[in-house]
């Protein structure tokens, strides 16, 4: 019997397809095959079939589905599914599952690459690619971790494809690779490895102008979509093309340009003379084009000089209050500084097209367009904006507290849902149709998180005037408050990840030291699981910020950063920070980032290695009057908001 998951789910016996039953039965089989020959718990099946909120009959239904799957697979005789304690195992031979055969072929091909057997490696990689018939388990939508495991296999397909293209380029098949690379770059415009392969193939095909145009297009895409520059590796490749680096003609190509090939791996001596001759001919052929390029470079240099002049001496951007600062993840140094046209910017929300900030000091939110680099400030609420984030559809959710001069009885706050792709300035109480105000019977809507089909909103801020033990859940489908949870401890911070809402809480201790917790509430549940943080925190103050990423939950309870395992709820590590005060934490660009204040020097950003929990560096951002009030990180960039004097204008 042959099982296929690299594409639509199929089971074949003696060349004939096996009927697999209903959608849920196919989902059960798909999960078992993703973990072929491994243990799959009943809880795991429940998660992948129904996600965060399985129906009351889910366990009984799983038993029925498994029984029918067993019946379908028993056409050849023996039942391949064995029952273990609390779970199941599908026994499949290596050659019987397409994913297993693919992994064997890829492992063998990569060994051949290491040994220099490129022709054989290319053939094995192509054989592995031929096993894919489409997206993994196409047509089956797994919930929970199954979704990530499917994405991991699809990601492996792209990696194998790029490995095979590397072999083709090393074997001199650049002309044949160009058409395929053009399609792949359009499908995956942010993958710089594909961009580099395309540039090298164009250069070797005597299309230097097109190779440089490909770099310009890659840079424009990265800047427009993410607000970042190309990687150093891609920049080195561009420079190598401009100077006609001989290593581009060697089999190693890109790797040689980036210093990843030893001298022993360079071209054989017998080829050097012929290589030099080819390069000389190419230089002569493109002489007129080089003159035109030189003129363009001079113009670009003049434009750059104007830009650097506005930045101050040394070309470094001048950090200033009430701005959005982009940091280089590698050095921690500012790359750009954007005035937000608002006062005391705080939390940051990032989309593909823009970066939003909630400005505490003047009751506005600001939008920085990553394409036009323009900033637009908007007054969206009748009160003071507190937090801002985006859902998967691109809708903005903005919490606020009523303005001091507009008290309401009973106290009420508003959450604004701003429909994706709209602009303008909106001040209630009358809003356009695409601006949805959600009224809370609560004194203040504070920090928020999205997950499990809900917007989770804690009531109040950090300070003694705003502490509250309630968390409201807004249904993202109906835009209505469906329930309010009581935690019995004041909530101060919240995040969502790994299927749970993570909430920082504390007990009031007057002028004594209080107690702090991280409380985990799984989506679909109402019962929190508590993790005591055992950190000495100031008067009436709880965990200030929570971030989820790098396989951990990071809780900032000054002066300590806690790393918590999201599965076991165990504290993995405590890191005492050297900052006088720490306010916010973010995870991205391969690191954990914490904003804090260093005595006598002003606010700073600390970069922490999530694998070792060691501080890599601390970068000062502002003088004694500035304050880093928010931080966010993407895979390639870090953004910090910098206020004027402080971040506690609404009791944070």
Mean pLDDT for the chain? 78
- The answer to whether residue 305 scores a pLDDT higher than 60 is no
Alpha-carbon torsion, ordered 261, 285, 195, 167, to 10 deg: -50
Closest CA to 575 of 543, 612, 538: 612
Place of tokens 């910098």: 642
The pLDDT tens digits of the residues spanning 174-228 come to: 888 998 999 999 999 999 999 999 999 999 888 988 999 999 999 988 887 777 8
68-101 b/e (C-beta count within 10 Å ≥ 16 → b):
bbeeebeeeeeebbeeeeebbbbebeeebbbbbb
In a domain, 109, yes or no: yes
In a domain, 288, yes or no: no
What's the CA gap between 612 and 399, in Å, rounded? Answer: 36
Considering Cα of 650, then 458, then 365, then 434, what sign does the dihedral take? negative
What's the CA gap between 437 and 381, in Å, rounded? Answer: 9
Overall average pLDDT of the 345-369 stretch: 86
Closest CA to 49 of 35, 34, 76, 30: 30
> What CATH number did the domain enclosing 39 receive?
1.10.10.10
Provide the number of structural domains found in the chain: 2
- The answer to whether residue 644 scores a pLDDT higher than 80 is no
Q: Which residue has the higher pLDDT, 273 or 45?
A: 45
> Considering the chain, what percentage of its residues have pLDDT values greater than 70?
76
Residue 232 makes CB contacts below 8 A (sequence gap 6+) with: none
What's the CA gap between 290 and 302, in Å, rounded? Answer: 18
The pLDDT tens digits of the residues spanning 120-160 come to: 999 999 999 999 999 999 888 887 677 888 888 999 999 99
pLDDT in the model for residue 267 = 33
In a domain, 182, yes or no: no
pLDDT in the model for residue 540 = 52
**Are 358 and 388 a contacting pair, CB within 8 Å?**
yes
What's the CA gap between 420 and 348, in Å, rounded? Answer: 17
Q: Specify burial of residue 315 (Cβ count, 10 A radius: 0-12, 13-18, 19+).
A: exposed
pLDDT in the model for residue 494 = 94
- The answer to whether residue 87 scores a pLDDT higher than 70 is yes
Q: Specify burial of residue 355 (Cβ count, 10 A radius: 0-12, 13-18, 19+).
A: buried
3-state secondary structure of 537: coil
Closest CA to 566 of 523, 617, 614, 626: 523
Q: Which residue has the higher pLDDT, 479 or 504?
A: 504
Two structure tokens written together for 412: 């009420």
**Are 69 and 21 a contacting pair, CB within 8 Å?**
yes
Q: Which of 130, 161, 180 is the last residue of a domain?
A: 130
Angle at 316 between CA 311 and CA 317, to 5 degrees: 55
In a domain, 587, yes or no: yes
Q: Which of 68, 95, 130 is the last residue of a domain?
A: 130
**Are 623 and 607 a contacting pair, CB within 8 Å?**
no
Considering Cα of 177, then 178, then 183, then 186, what sign does the dihedral take? positive
H or E element at residue 490: strand 490-497
The pLDDT tens digits of the residues spanning 542-566 come to: 888 999 988 899 999 888 899 999 9
In a domain, 78, yes or no: yes
What's the CA gap between 480 and 476, in Å, rounded? Answer: 8
Domain extent at residue 83: 2-130
**What is the SS3 string spanning 34-66?**
HCCCCCEEHHHHHHHHHCCCCCCCHHHHHHHHH
- The answer to whether residue 639 scores a pLDDT higher than 90 is yes
pLDDT in the model for residue 478 = 85
Stated pTM of the model: 0.55
- The answer to whether residue 403 scores a pLDDT higher than 70 is no
In a domain, 474, yes or no: no
What's the CA gap between 458 and 447, in Å, rounded? Answer: 6
Overall average pLDDT of the 467-486 stretch: 85
- Beta partners for residue 588, in sequence order: 591
Q: Which of 130, 147, 163 is the last residue of a domain?
A: 130
The pLDDT tens digits of the residues spanning 428-473 come to: 555 566 667 777 666 778 899 998 889 999 886 544 445 678 898 9
What φ, ψ does residue 112 adopt, rounded to 5°? -65, -40
The pLDDT tens digits of the residues spanning 49-84 come to: 887 777 888 888 888 998 888 888 887 667 788 887
H or E element at residue 163: helix 144-170
End-to-end, the C-alpha distance of the chain in Å comes to 62
Considering Cα of 607, then 610, then 615, then 616, what sign does the dihedral take? negative
Count the alpha carbons within 13 Å of 457 in the hemisphere toward its beta carbon: 36
Closest CA to 400 of 366, 363, 367: 363
């Amino acid at each position: 019997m042959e099982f296929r998951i690299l594409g639509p789910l199929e089971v074949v016996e003696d060349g004939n397809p096996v009927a697999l039953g209903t959608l849920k039965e196919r989902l059960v089989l798909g999960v078992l095959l993703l973990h072929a020959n491994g243990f799959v718990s009943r809880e795991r099946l429940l998660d992948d079939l129904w996600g965060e909120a399985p129906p009351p009959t889910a366990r009984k239904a799983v038993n029925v589905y498994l029984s029918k799957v067993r019946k379908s697979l028993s056409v050849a005789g023996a039942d391949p599914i064995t029952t273990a304690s609390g779970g199941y195992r599908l026994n499949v031979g290596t050659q019987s599952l397409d994913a297993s055969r693919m992994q064997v072929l890829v492992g063998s091909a990569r060994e051949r690459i290491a040994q220099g057997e490129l022709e054989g490696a290319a053939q094995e990689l192509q054989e592995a690619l031929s096993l894919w018939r489409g997206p993994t388990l196409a047509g089956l939508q797994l919930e929970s971790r199954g979704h990530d495991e499917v994405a991991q296999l699809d990601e492996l397909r792209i990696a194998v494809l790029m490995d095979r293209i590397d072999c083709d380029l090393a074997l001199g098949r650049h002309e044949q690779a160009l058409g395929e690379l053009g399609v792949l770059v359009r499908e995956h415009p942010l993958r710089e490895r594909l961009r580099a392969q395309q540039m090298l193939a164009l250069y070797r095909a005597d299309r230097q102008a097109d190779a440089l145009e490909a770099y310009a297009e890659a840079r424009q895409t990265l800047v427009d979509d993410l607000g970042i520059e190309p990687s150093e590796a891609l920049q080195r490749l561009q420079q190598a093309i401009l100077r006609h680096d001989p290593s581009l003609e060697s089999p190693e190509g890109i790797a040689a340009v980036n210093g990843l090939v030893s001298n022993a791996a360079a071209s054989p001596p017998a080829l050097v003379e012929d290589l030099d001759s080819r390069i000389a001919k190419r230089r002569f052929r493109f002489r007129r084009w080089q003159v035109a390029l030189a003129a363009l470079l001079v113009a670009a240099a003049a434009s750059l000089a104007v830009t650097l002049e506005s930045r101050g001496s040394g070309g470094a951007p001048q950090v200033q209050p009430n701005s959005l600062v982009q940091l280089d993840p590698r050095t921690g140094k500012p790359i750009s500084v954007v005035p937000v046209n608002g006062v005391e910017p705080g939390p940051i929300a990032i989309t593909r097209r823009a970066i939003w900030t909630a400005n505490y000091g003047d009751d506005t939110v600001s939008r920085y367009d990553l394409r036009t680099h323009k900033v637009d400030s908007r007054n969206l609420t009748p009160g003071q904006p507190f937090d801002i984030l985006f859902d998967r559809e691109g809708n903005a959710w903005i919490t606020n507290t009523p303005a001091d001069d507009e008290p309401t009885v009973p106290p009420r706050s508003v959450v604004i849902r701003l429909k994706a792709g709209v602009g303008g300035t909106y001040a209630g109480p009358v809003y356009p149709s695409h601006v949805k105000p959600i009224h809370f019977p609560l004194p203040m809507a504070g920090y928020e998180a999205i997950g499990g089909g809900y917007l989770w909103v804690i009531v109040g801020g950090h300070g003694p005037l705003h502490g509250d033990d309630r968390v409201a859940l807004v249904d993202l489908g109906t835009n209505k408050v469906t329930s309010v949870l009581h935690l019995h401890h004041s909530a101060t911070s919240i995040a969502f990840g790994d299927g749970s809402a993570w909430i920082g809480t504390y007990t009031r201790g007057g002028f004594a030291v209080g107690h702090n917790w991280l409380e985990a509430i799984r989506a679909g549940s109402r019962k929190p699981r508590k993790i005591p943080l055992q950190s000495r925190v100031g008067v009436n103050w709880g965990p200030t910020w929570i971030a989820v990423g790098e396989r951990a939950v990071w809780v900032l309870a000054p002066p300590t950063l806690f790393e918590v395992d999201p599965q076991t709820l165990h504290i993995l590590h405590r890191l005492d920070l050297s900052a006088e005060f720490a306010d916010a934490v973010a995870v991205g660009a391969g690191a954990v980032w914490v904003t804090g204040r260093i005595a006598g020097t002003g606010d700073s950003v600390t970069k922490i290695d999530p694998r070792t929990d060691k501080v890599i560096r601390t970068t000062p951002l502002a003088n004694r009057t500035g304050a880093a009030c928010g931080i966010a990180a993407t895979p390639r960039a870090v953004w910090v908001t910098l206020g004027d004097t402080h971040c506690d204008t609404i009791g944070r």
